[in-house]
Amino acid sequence: MTKNRILSGVQPSGDLHLGNYLGAIKNFVSLQKDYECFFCVVDLHAITVWQDPKELAQKTREVTAAFIASGIDPNENILFAQSQVPQHSQLAWIFNCVARMGWLNRMTQFKDKAGKDRENVSVGLFSYPNLMAADILIYLATHVPVGEDQKQHLELTRDIAQKFNNDFSTDLFPIPEPLIFGEATRVMSLRDGTKKMSKSDPSDYSRIMLSDNIDSIVQKIKKAKTDPHPLPATKEEAEKRPEALNLITIFAALSDQSTDTVLEQYSGKEFSLFKKDLADLAAEKLQPISKEVTKLMSDQDYLDQIMKTGKDKAIAVAEPVLTKVYDIVGFANT
């Protein structure tokens, strides 16, 4: 039986943080044996907001390095940069003509990112989910591991696949399933437990970066917002205390334990003690990754070779799918 196929993407729009790691990359590592995997550094998505051209290629390498340093085997999986496989953009244009304005108008990520400045954001930021659908469907991927924040975009991908299949009376596209799992599918800001941890938060203290040294990890966790009560006894109680719940779920995800097990161990204890253990745990898990990223980044040729091999393998799969799509849509084959 052929393996099911995964595609997922991460933007090279800044350094990676703990949310990217726990919500996405750590899960990629655990899925790689059971699926045929395409992991893509989505540089076309990154330029929907301004990126410094002097830094973009290096940031793309950095995400590739983080994949490998986290435990993704570059020989068994296909790692590549989105811009290098033109079929993504070609399919995205067709999806621009399949998806409806009304569907995209409902995307909460666009509303959050555009804010009050809607007239001034790029058209790409609005049509972003159509490109994401193309990333997935150009490989006929069946499963997509992502953090919770991407769920709505995945639903849109499913709608696009369905509408294309219906409009053109075909069964070409599978209806891909999101894979959202682990104890930390939505890691929140360390400064505000109601906001997700993100690259764009102005406060450095809101997030732990994969590249943080031990001192920064300790400082950020020490300063993380909590309430004056000791740790809760149950998950129900924790759910009413978002900052507490966030730190507990981060601990659970990093230590591969359930939230309930962590609560059993720490219920009634003071946050000062818990935070010390959490900082030790985070440093123990993240330091080897950041050291490995630094090492890999010193060998640019190696990373470029990985991405070149990935690009060739990706094109070999994407090209025949695009040919079928062109044929289905009815383009002249000249």
- The reply on whether position 187 binds ligand AMP by CB under 6 A is yes
- The reply on whether position 278 binds ligand AMP by CB under 6 A is no
DSSP state of 267: T
DSSP secondary structure of 126-141: HHHHHHHHHHHHTTT-
Of residues 3-22, those binding ligand AMP (CB under 6 A): 10-11, 19-20
Q: Which residues bind ligand TRP (CB under 6 A)?
A: 7-9, 11, 42, 45, 132, 135-136, 144, 146, 150, 153
Q: Which is nearer to ligand TRP, 7 or 247 (CB)?
A: 7
Q: Which two tokens stand for residue 88?
A: 């993504």
Among residues 150, 255, 259, 290, the one that binds ligand AMP under rule CB under 6 A = 150
Residues noted as catalytic? 113, 196, 199
Give the number of other Cβ atoms within 10 Å of residue 176's Cβ: 23
Q: Token match 């949310």: residue?
A: 19
Among residues 7, 23, 60, 217, the one that binds ligand AMP under rule CB under 6 A = 23
| 20, interface contact from ligand AMP, ligand TRP, none, CB < 5-8 Å by kind | ligand AMP
Could you give the count of Cα atoms lying within 13 Å of 151 in the half-sphere of its Cβ? 9
Task: Please give the residue whose beta carbon sits closest to ligand TRP in the complex.
Answer: 9
Closest approach of ligand TRP to the CB of residue 150, in Å: 5
Give the number of other Cβ atoms within 10 Å of residue 212's Cβ: 22
CB contact at 8 A, 289 and 69 = yes
Of residues 190-209, those binding ligand AMP (CB under 6 A): 196-198
Q: Which is nearer to ligand AMP, 41 or 238 (CB)?
A: 41
Closest approach of ligand TRP to the CB of residue 178, in Å: 9
Closest approach of ligand AMP to the CB of residue 331, in Å: 32
- Residue 214 CB-density burial (10 A; 0-12 exposed, 13-18 middle, 19+ buried): middle
Instruction: Please compute Rg for the chain using Cα positions.
Output: 21
CB contact at 8 A, 217 and 208 = yes
Q: Among 26, 57, 22, 52, which Cα is nearest to 39's?
A: 26
Range in contact with ligand AMP (rule: CB under 6 A) among 93-101, 147-155, 242-250, 317-325: 147-155
Which 3 state secondary structure label does DSSP give 7?
strand
Interatomic CA distance for residues 173 and 141, integer angstroms:
9
Q: Which is nearer to ligand TRP, 27 or 259 (CB)?
A: 27
Phi-psi category of residue 256: left, alpha or beta, with phi > 0 → left and psi -120 to 50 → alpha: left
| 197, interface contact from ligand AMP, ligand TRP, none, CB < 5-8 Å by kind | ligand AMP
- The reply on whether position 186 binds ligand AMP by CB under 6 A is yes
Q: Which is nearer to ligand TRP, 45 or 158 (CB)?
A: 45
User: What does the binding site for ligand AMP look like in residue numbers (CB under 6 A)?
Assistant: 10-11, 19-20, 23-24, 146-147, 149-150, 185-187, 196-198
